[in-house]
Chains A and B, each alone.
Chain A
């Protein structure tokens, strides 16, 4: 990709295919899990006609409670899992890009992408610490 030339005729590169795939899988997986959670919610009769937004139904606030809830097939926990998958999708996308750029030997972007991932992870650690 260093030369300009007729790059337009190239098929999509590895990075583009990998990134696109990660995003698609993450979104579909997350949506499926959220739908499952909503289905469980209906099955358990927690909602009848519409979703009760203001009702204080408890939901898991950390990963430990989340895991316990999923094992118990708690609807709120299953929906939260879908949301966690959604949050994790961009993280995965960045991580996969590092590998894809490395395979293309585009070291400039391996550094750039690794830096982005570092900032993301540091943010979560700092967020937990500040909480």
Chain B
């Protein structure tokens, strides 16, 4: 269980996912742990991943804390409503809807991978060219970080912030309902919609996930769904994995992360669809 958690943590911090999306299926399918207990442990793992890696990302300026804080308003609202709604909505339907949304969202990411592999490594410059929207300007959302793999400082500006924020609400909703970090949605909102460089998107997603997860973790804890015998080893494993992931992220090229991201989302989407069509079993 600790080994699975380590891998989930490393993958989570590299991809901007909470790791819960790996922890929950493995625990329920292979270790036969009750779903509520798995979701409770998962939400803990999600906080561990986020905090473990975000501490480094914030200091390195990879994570944009202003963007994170602003969008957390929406993810926290979503997480609270999700955790309160959990169990009152038809689960299978939600799984199907989310898997379809994830599949749809793979299209632009796939296009970018293709264009990047053809040698047009313009991804990190996209932020320079776009005009900021009014909200981004008013809230000072522009950012900059040093990218060792490019050997220079990458500056960026953001657009379509309101649309990104709207997606964040649904990311939070999914998190609260399913006990996942839903970093996938967060990365998509920042990378594809708002035009943030992929490394900043994953780092900022990690930064935000902790707050999203904490919003529902309190509710899970008060329900008694956090079993320390499951959650404690999972938290330790994921923590170690996420520290490892945060250490190697700055040295990996952006396109590699995007391909890994694409593959993970494809697997998750298929998993969610099967789960939903199977009636939530």
Contacts and interface: CB of A to CB of B under 8 A. Distances in A.
A83 interface: yes
A52 interface: yes
Nearest to B143: A7
B182 to A, nearest CB: 15
Interface in B68-93: 69-70, 72-73, 76-77, 79-80, 83-84
A14 to B, nearest CB: 11
Contacts of A77: 228
Contacts of A113: 69
B223 interface: yes
Given A119-B76, A123-B215, A97 B58 contact: no
A19 B65 contact: yes
B61 interface: yes
A90 B229 contact: no
A16 B44 contact: no
Interface residues of B, number: 60
Interface residues of A, number: 63
Contacts of A38: 232-233, 236
B230 interface: yes
Interface string B27-61: 00001110000000000100110111011101101
A86 B211 contact: no
A27 B51 contact: yes
Given A12-B61, A38-B233, A108-B139, A119 B48 contact: no
Interface of A: 1-2, 4, 7-8, 12, 15-17, 19-21, 23-24, 26-27, 30-31, 34-35, 37-38, 51-55, 57, 59, 61-62, 76-77, 79-80, 82-84, 86-91, 93-94, 97, 108-109, 112-113, 115-116, 119-120, 122-124, 126-128, 130-131
23 contacts: A7-B144, A19-B65, A24-B55, A27-B51, A27-B55, A30-B48, A35-B236, A53-B31, A59-B227, A83-B44, A83-B226, A83-B228, A87-B44, A97-B65, A116-B72, A119-B73, A119-B77, A122-B80, A123-B216, A126-B80, A127-B80, A127-B83, A127-B84
Given A38-B233, A54-B32, A91-B214, 11 more contacts: A24-B55, A27-B48, A38-B236, A62-B222, A82-B235, A83-B235, A89-B47, A89-B51, A89-B210, A109-B69, A120-B211
Nearest first, the 8 A-B pairs at minimum CB distance are A127-B219, A123-B80, A61-B224, A79-B228, A23-B55, A90-B214, A90-B210, A124-B218
